[in-house]
Structures are given as C-alpha cells and as structure tokens.
Amino acid sequence: SVLVNQKPKQDICQSGTSLKIQCVVDSPVAAMFWYQQFQGQSLVLMATANQGSEATYEKGFTKDKFPISFPNLTFSTLTVSNVRPEDSSFYFCIEK
C-alpha cells in the first residue's frame, strides 16, 4: 500500500484568501483523486489528476475555484481559491 501524507492537516483561512493543500505519496502513482467531505457527510469526488494532462473535474467543481497540480508521480496540490465560509470542509487526496 502507498503511504499518503497531507499538509496542512488543518488550517484556518480568511475569506478571500487561498489555501494550498499538498499531498505526497511514498511511491509513484498514475492518478490522484481529490475529495471533499463536509462534517457528517460522505466523500464527494472533486477531481481526478492524471500525470501529464489537465485534471478532470466533477460536476460542481471548477479549475478556477480548485486548481490542481500533479507535477510528478508522487506529489499533487489542491488549491482552494477565494475561500468562502461554505468551503469549510475536509479535503482528501487518495491515490489509485
């Protein structure tokens, strides 16, 4: 199994700022999946990052709001841009 390390574990942001979440895995992966989870609800797939191509976004999520980079096979970032109170949730990267 692949060990996943996310930073920051949690953060408090001011409205209008951006938050970058880093995801590092300990062995190469072909794709990284980013999920959002509101308190007490199930995981919702936001986007799939594939090496060498643009991330594919699910309905309700956009590249402008949630830019994703996947520059190499062990590292990806998700940015939550122009943070709003309704963006307060858990964000997870999961490799496959």
Q: Which CATH number goes with the domain that contains 9? A: 2.60.40.10
47 is in which domain, residue-wise?
4-95
Looking at residue 5, its pLDDT comes to 85
More confident: 64 or 5 = 64
More confident: 96 or 93 = 93
Looking at residue 70, its pLDDT comes to 93
- Per-residue pLDDT at 90 exceeds 90: yes
- CA nearest to 66, candidates 89, 43, 46: 46
- Per-residue pLDDT at 2 exceeds 80: no
Q: What is the pTM of this model?
A: 0.91
Give me the number of domains the chain comprises.
1
- CA nearest to 32, candidates 4, 13, 66, 11: 4
**pLDDT single digits (tens) 25-74:** 999 998 999 999 999 999 999 999 988 788 999 999 999 999 999 999 99
- CA nearest to 53, candidates 33, 70, 75, 38: 70
